[in-house]
Structure 1
Amino acid sequence: MGIQPVIGRLLVVDWAPLPQEGDKVLFVFDGGTLDHEATRRITFSDGELSVYEFRSVAELDDLLTERLARRLKAAAIAHEMGETIYLEHGRAVLAG
């Protein structure tokens, strides 16, 4: 059964050029807030994952690679500001 959350607005676009893998453009969208009933219905049908947990933005540096932590922290800021943030390698690019 699982869940099918409504996907909201685009929070982050992150250009990640990697010479060994090729350029990537990564997108982070607002997935909304899951209530207790929705989290109870989360399933993993393909066997790739077996567990999930929710963690605070403050914990990201200790859990993720530096670039991924930067991307998700930018998404949290974009969510609060009501904007979309453009990144390169997880770092904000100043207009100019």
Structure 2
Amino acid sequence: MGAGLLLTDPDERVLLVEPVYKAEWELPGGCVEADESPYQAALRECREELSLEVTPGRLLVVDWVPARDGRTEGIMVVYDGGTLHPDAQERIVVPPGELKGWAWSDPPQARQRLRPLLARRITQALHARADGVSYYLEDGVRVA
């Protein structure tokens, strides 16, 4: 199980992080550890990856992902991390052993940087935020 945060800037660009261990960018977040809730994991990962104390907001999407490429099936949840204003952006520090960096991404940039599954998930999370609801996804596609 994994948990992430959808963070945007005042221009509605999404904050993406670039891991050192893979080619694709991601949302801030990661694996839920033993005896940890997804909500706690999102909070911890934001602190570890960005050095920011962000209190996750409401659940935006739950995404069931089928098994593939030697990986088991999984559940990914994305919480609303809110809008980061310039003063918070200035405090971002990424751990050099884990991340190459971070960047704001508009929709075309996000599609270039992300795997198609994650691009679909983020698009649905943005829709859920705008609609004031939560969505259930399967492989990044809205089911309910």
> In which range does the TM-score fall when normalised by the shorter chain?
0.7 to 0.9
What is the CA-CA distance between 1:78 and the residue it aligns to? Answer: 0.2
What letter matches 1:37 in structure 2? D
Aligned Cα root-mean-square deviation (Å): 1.7
Distance in 2 separating the partners of 1:29 and 1:57: 19
Normalized per residue, which structure has more strand?
2
Q: Note the residue ranges of structure 1 that are not aligned, 5 or more in a row.
A: none
Distance in 1 separating the partners of 2:77 and 2:123: 13
What is the CA-CA distance between 1:74 and the residue it aligns to? Answer: 0.2
Q: Note the residue ranges of structure 2 that are not aligned, 5 or more in a row.
A: 1-46
Overall identity of the aligned pairs, in %:
36
Distance 1:60 1:45, change over 3 A: closer
What letter matches 1:81 in structure 2? D
2:92 is matched with which residue? 42
What is the CA-CA distance between 1:22 and the residue it aligns to? Answer: 1.0
Q: Deviations over 1:27-70 (max 9, x none)?
A: 01100111111111111236211311111134322221111100
**Greater relative contact order (Cα < 8 A, sep 6+):** 1
2:136 is matched with which residue? 86
Q: What TM-score, normalized by structure 1, do the two folds share?
A: 0.87
Q: What TM-score, normalized by structure 2, do the two folds share?
A: 0.60
Distance in 2 separating the partners of 1:65 and 1:22: 18
1:69 aligns with 2:112: no
Aligned length: 94
Please identify the structure whose Cα radius of gyration is greater.
Answer: 1
